Amino acid sequence: MKSENLVEINDLNFSYGNRAILKGINMTMHRGKVIAIMGGSGCGKTTLLRLIGGAVTPSSGYVKVAGQVVHDLTRDELFQIRRKMSMLFQFGALFTDLSVFDNVAFQMREHTDLPEAVIRDLVLMKLHAVGLRGAHKLMPAELSGGMARRVALARSVALDPLLIMYDEPFTGLDPISLSVIGNLIRRLTDALGMTSIIVTHDVQESLKIVDYVYFISEGVIAAHGTPTEVRGSIAPFVHQFVHGEEDGPVPFHYPASSYASDLRMRGEIA
C-alpha cells in the first residue's frame, strides 16, 4: 500500500559554511494536499525546496520523497525521481529561446517517445487548463508576468508529476493574476491528485487555498497548523506575520550597537 506521506523531512539541518540556515526541521506532507511554507525573507524557505528537490545536500537529517532519501541517490536515480516532481520558479524560468508551445512540450520531447501529434494535443490541453491555449505561438518575451507564470505552471504539470514545488508563485503579480494563479494551483492539485508545496510571503492569498501551513523563523519551525488554526493563533510570531505587524518577535531594527554611541552622543538618547 502507498504511504500517505509523499514527503517526509526528519531532523533536517543545513548550513552554508558556518552559518546555520535550517535547524532540526521536521515536516510531513500528505499526498493530494496543498502545503504552504511561510517565513520572512532569507529564513531558508527556498533552501528547503532545493533540499526536497535534491539540488543541495543537508548537513544532517534526511528528506524522503515517495519513500526515497533524495540526497542518497545517484545522479541517475535523482533524475528518475525528478521526473515525478516539478518546480515552478519565482519568475517562471521559461526557456526564452523556445515558444510557449515548445516550453510546455519540452519535457514530453525530452523524456518520452510520444508522436508529435500526441504531444501537440497534450500541450494544447495543458495550456487550455491555464487559459492560454490561444497564446501557444507567442515567445516568452511577449508574455506579461502573470501569463509567464501560467505558462510555467502548464509546463510544470506537463508530465503529471506527483509533487509540485512553487517558489514564491505570487511575487510581483497584480490582484487578478494573483487570484488566477492561486485558484489554478488548487484546481490542478485536486484534478491531478498531486501534492503542492508553496513557498510564499503572501499570507492572505495562500491561506485561501492551502490545507496546511508551516511557519519558519530563524531556521526552525515557529508554528504550523491548518489555515483556521493559523488565523486564530495567538503565538506572537504567527500573529505578527499573519497581520503584517511592523515590530514583534521579528524586530524592525537589524541588530546594531547603541544608537546613541553610533551618533557619538553622550547620554541624550537612551
Partner 1 sequence: MPRRIVLGIQGVGHRVIESVWRLGRASRFFMLMLMKSGTSMRRFRLIIREIYFTGVLSLIIIVVSGLFVGMVLGLQGYETLQKYGSESAVGTLVALSLVRELGPVVAALLFASRAGSAITAEIGLMKATEQLAAMEMMAVDPIARVVAPRFWAGVISMPFLAAMFSSVGVFGGYLVTVVLIGVDEGSFWSQMQSAVDFRYDIVNGVIKTCVFGVAVTAIAVFEGYDAPPTAAGVSGATTRTVVTSSLAILGLDFVLTAFMFRGMS
Q: How many residues contact partner 1, by CB under 8 A? A: 21
Q: Does 145 bind partner 1 (CB under 8 A)?
A: no
Q: Near partner 1 by CB under 8 A, which window of 12-20, 90-98, 184-192, 260-268?
A: 90-98
Binding test (CB under 8 A) with partner 1, winner from 4, 111, 118, 193: 111
Interacting positions 34-73 with partner 1 (CB under 8 A): 53, 55
Binding test (CB under 8 A) with partner 1, winner from 107, 112, 179, 240: 107
Q: Does 87 bind partner 1 (CB under 8 A)?
A: yes
Q: Distance between CA 162 and CA 192 in Å, rounded?
A: 9
Q: Does 160 bind partner 1 (CB under 8 A)?
A: no
Binding test (CB under 8 A) with partner 1, winner from 43, 44, 66, 86: 86
Among 73, 77, 60, smallest CA distance to 26 is for 60
Taking the least distance from each CB to partner 1, the nearer of 85 and 173 is 85
CB 32, CB 4: distance < 8 Å: no
- Supply the minimum distance, in Å, between the C-beta of residue 233 and partner 1: 33
235: its cell numbers: 503565538
- Supply the minimum distance, in Å, between the C-beta of residue 90 and partner 1: 7
Binding test (CB under 8 A) with partner 1, winner from 89, 112, 135, 146: 89
Binding test (CB under 8 A) with partner 1, winner from 9, 34, 85, 104: 85
- Supply the minimum distance, in Å, between the C-beta of residue 175 and partner 1: 25
- Supply the minimum distance, in Å, between the C-beta of residue 55 and partner 1: 7
Q: Does 82 bind partner 1 (CB under 8 A)?
A: yes
The DSSP result for the chain, as a single string, is ---SEEEEEEEEEEEETTEEEEEEEEEEEETT-EEEEE-STTSSHHHHHHHHTTSS--SEEEEEETTEEGGGS-HHHHHHHHTTEEEE-TT----TTS-HHHHHHHHHHHH----HHHHHHHHHHHHHHTT-GGGTT--GGGS-HHHHHHHHHHHHTTT--SEEEEESTTTT--HHHHHHHHHHHHHHHHHHT-EEEEEES-HHHHHHH-SEEEEEETTEEEEEE-HHHHHT---HHHHHHHTT-SSSSS-SSPS-S-HHHHTT-SSS--
Binding test (CB under 8 A) with partner 1, winner from 18, 41, 74, 96: 96
- Supply the minimum distance, in Å, between the C-beta of residue 81 and partner 1: 8
Q: Distance between CA 129 and CA 156 in Å, rounded?
A: 12
Q: Does 83 bind partner 1 (CB under 8 A)?
A: yes
Using CB under 8 A, list all residues that contact partner 1: 53, 55, 79-80, 82-83, 85-87, 89-91, 93-97, 106-107, 110-111
